[in-house]
């Protein structure tokens, strides 16, 4: 009978080069794609108080007030409206005064989804809009 002798050189080795190539390719892919991501957001800070230096609004531009309270009720110029119908209500007021801007006042407890939906509708239809926080002193 013939005996086999074990040689340490016959041990199987794992070639790590292809795995390292794949890791470097994935790393490069994620670095390149991460640099092209740009997220757009809303600036929720109120504008700074300009005092006496504020330019006066145009005489025919009456502000259309859109209010969102803490229970996500939406009012357009003190008239209750549905979130999906805010744009049509604003367009009715803008038919009388086309240069009227929209001021959205929101409660601190209002849902961000409602606010963003109204903001997006105004921006998509090129309605000048600004955002303000409701301080709760009347309304």
Question: pLDDT tens digit string along 107-126?
Answer: 888 888 888 898 888 888 88
> Which of residues 139 and 49 earns the better pLDDT score?
49
DSSP 22: H
> What are the residue boundaries of the structural domains of the chain, listed by start?
59-133
Round to whole Å and give the CA distance between 66 and 105. Answer: 6
DSSP, collapsed to helix, strand or coil, labels residue 66 as strand
Q: From CA 134, how far away is CA 139, in angstroms rounded?
A: 8
> Which of the two residues, 47 and 100, has the higher pLDDT score?
100
Residue 111, pLDDT score:
85
Name the residue with tokens 């105004």.
122
Contact 94, 121 (CB under 8 A): no
pLDDT in tens, 5-51: 665 566 777 888 888 999 999 999 988 887 666 667 767 676 677 76
- Residue 8: predicted pLDDT: 58
What's the fold here for domain 59-133?
Nucleotidyltransferase; domain 5 (3.30.420)
Average pLDDT, the chain: 80
Structure tokens at 114: 């409602």
Mean pLDDT of all residues in 80-96: 89
Question: Would you state the pLDDT for residue 3?
Answer: 66
């Amino acid at each position: 009978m013939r005996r086999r002798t074990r040689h340490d050189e016959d041990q199987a080795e794992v070639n790590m080069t292809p795995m390292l190539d794949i890791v470097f390719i994935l790393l490069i892919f994620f670095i390149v794609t991460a640099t092209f991501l740009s997220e757009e957001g809303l600036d929720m800070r109120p504008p700074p108080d300009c005092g006496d230096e504020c330019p006066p609004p145009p005489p025919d531009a009456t502000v259309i007030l859109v209010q969102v309270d803490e229970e996500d009720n939406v009012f357009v110029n003190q008239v209750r409206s549905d979130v999906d119908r805010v744009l049509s209500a604003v367009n009715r007021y803008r038919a009388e005064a086309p240069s009227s801007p929209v001021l959205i006042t929101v409660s601190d407890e209002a849902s961000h989804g409602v606010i963003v939906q109204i903001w997006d509708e105004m921006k998509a239809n090129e309605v000048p809009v600004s955002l303000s926080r409701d301080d709760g002193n009347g309304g």
